[in-house]
Structure 1
Amino acid sequence: MSTAIIEGGSPLLGTVQVSGTRNSALKLMAAAMFSNDDVILQNVPKIDAVEDDIQMIRALGGKADWAGAGRLILNGSGITSYEIPLDLGSKYRTSLLMAPPLLFRFGKASVPKYKTGLTVPRPVNRILEVWKTLGVTIDEDENYYFISSANAISGHVNFKIPSHMSTDALIMTAAFLPGETEINNASEECEIDDLIELMNAMGGAVVRSEPRVIKVNGVNVFKGASLEVQPDKTEAVIFSIAALITKGNVVIKNINRNVMVPLVNFLTKVGARYEFEQNSIKIWRHDEELQATNLTIAPTPGFVPDWQSSATLLLTQCSGTSYIHDTVYTDRFGYVKDLNRMGAKIELLKPSEAGIISVVSDDTYDTERLGEPYTVAKTVGPVKLKGEKLNITDFRYGAVHVLAALIAEGRSEIEGTDVLDCYIENFTSKLKNLGAKIWDQRE
Structure 2
Amino acid sequence: MRWMKIEGPSKLEGSLTVPGSKNSSLAILAAACLASEPVTLKNIPNIADFRVLREIGEEIGCVMNRDILGDVHIDPTNINNPIIEPEKSGKFRTAYYFIGALLAKFGKVSLGYPGGDDFVSRPIDQHIKAFEKMGATFTFHKDYYIVEATRLNGATIYFDTITSGATVNSTLAAVLAEGETILLNAARDPEVTDTALFLNQMGAKITGAGTDTIKIKGVKQLNGCSYSVIPDRLIAGAFLISSGITGGTITVEDIIPEHLTSCLTKLKEIGVGIEIKENNITSFLDGRINATRVRTAMFPGFPTDLQQPLTVLLTQANGRSVLRETVYPNRFNHVYQLNKMGASIEVANGVAHIKGKSSLQGALVNASDVRAGICLMLAGVIAEGTTTITGIEHIERGYDEAVTAFNSLGANISLHQSDEITDDLMIAEVKKIN
Structure 1 range deviating more: 421-430 or 269-278:
269-278
**Contact 1:19–1:254 (Cα < 8 Å) also in 2:** no
**Equivalent residues in 2 for 1:119-158 (5 A)?**
120-158=120-158
Cα deviation, residue 309, structure 1? 0.9
Q: Render the CA deviation track for 1:202-247: whole Å, top value 9, x for unaligned.
A: 1111111771000011111110112110010110011111222111
Q: Quick one: distance in 1 between partners of 2:100 and 2:209? A: 23
**Equivalent residues in 2 for 1:64-75 (5 A)?**
64-75=64-75
Q: 3-state SS of the aligned residue for 1:6? A: strand
Cα deviation, residue 119, structure 1? 6.3
Partner of 2:19: 19
Matched, 1:381 2:380: no
Q: Quick one: distance in 2 between partners of 1:210 and 1:262? A: 16
1:391 aligned partner, one-letter code: N
2:252 aligned partner, one-letter code: I
Cα deviation, residue 104, structure 1? 2.1
Query: Does the C-alpha gap of structure 1 residues 121 and 396 become closer, same or farther in structure 2, counting only changes over 3 Å?
Result: farther
**Contact 2:119–2:328 (Cα < 8 Å) also in 1:** no
TM-score when normalising by structure 1:
0.91
Query: Does the C-alpha gap of structure 1 residues 425 and 277 become closer, same or farther in structure 2, counting only changes over 3 Å?
Result: farther
Q: Quick one: distance in 2 between partners of 1:182 and 1:117? A: 30
Partner of 2:316: 317
**Equivalent residues in 2 for 1:154-173 (5 A)?**
154-173=154-173
Cα deviation, residue 417, structure 1? 1.4
Q: Quick one: distance in 1 between partners of 2:115 and 2:398? A: 17
Q: 3-state SS of the aligned residue for 2:274? A: strand
Q: Quick one: distance in 1 between partners of 2:188 and 2:114? A: 25
Cα deviation, residue 117, structure 1? 7.0
Q: 3-state SS of the aligned residue for 2:91? A: coil
Cα deviation, residue 395, structure 1? 3.0
The correspondence for 1:407, drawn from 382, 400, 413, is 382
2:334 aligned partner, one-letter code: Y
2:255 aligned partner, one-letter code: I
1:436 aligned partner, one-letter code: A
Partner of 2:294: 295
**Contact 1:17–1:252 (Cα < 8 Å) also in 2:** yes
Partner of 2:44: 44
Partner of 2:432: none
1:432 aligned partner, one-letter code: N
Partner of 2:220: 220
Q: Quick one: distance in 2 between partners of 1:397 and 1:32? A: 30
Cα deviation, residue 140, structure 1? 2.0
Percent identity, aligned pairs only, is 29
Q: 3-state SS of the aligned residue for 1:51? A: helix
Partner of 2:393: 418
Q: Quick one: distance in 2 between partners of 1:28 and 1:163? A: 17
Q: Render the CA deviation track for 1:84-109: whole Å, top value 9, x for unaligned.
A: 13332221121111122321221111
Q: 3-state SS of the aligned residue for 1:44? A: coil
**Equivalent residues in 2 for 1:52-201 (5 A)?**
52-115=52-115, 118=118, 120-201=120-201
Cα deviation, residue 133, structure 1? 2.2
**Contact 1:12–1:247 (Cα < 8 Å) also in 2:** yes
Q: Render the CA deviation track for 1:382-428: whole Å, top value 9, x for unaligned.
A: 21111111112233422111111111111111111132111113001
Partner of 2:252: 252
Matched, 1:394 2:393: no
Q: Quick one: distance in 1 between partners of 2:77 and 2:179? A: 25
Partner of 2:327: 328
Q: 3-state SS of the aligned residue for 1:26? A: helix
Structure 2 unpaired stretches of 5+: 419-434
Runs of 4+ with >6 A deviation: none
Q: 3-state SS of the aligned residue for 1:319? A: coil
Q: 3-state SS of the aligned residue for 2:318? A: strand
Q: Quick one: distance in 2 between partners of 1:38 and 1:116? A: 28
1:181 aligned partner, one-letter code: T
Let me know the Cα RMSD of the aligned residues: 1.6
1:178 aligned partner, one-letter code: E
Q: Render the CA deviation track for 1:307-353: whole Å, top value 9, x for unaligned.
A: 1111111111111121111222210112112212212121224xxxx
Matched, 1:347 2:331: no
Q: Render the CA deviation track for 1:132-169: whole Å, top value 9, x for unaligned.
A: 22221111212221111215321111111110100011
Cα deviation, residue 113, structure 1? 2.1
**Contact 1:320–1:382 (Cα < 8 Å) also in 2:** yes
1:348 aligned partner, one-letter code: V
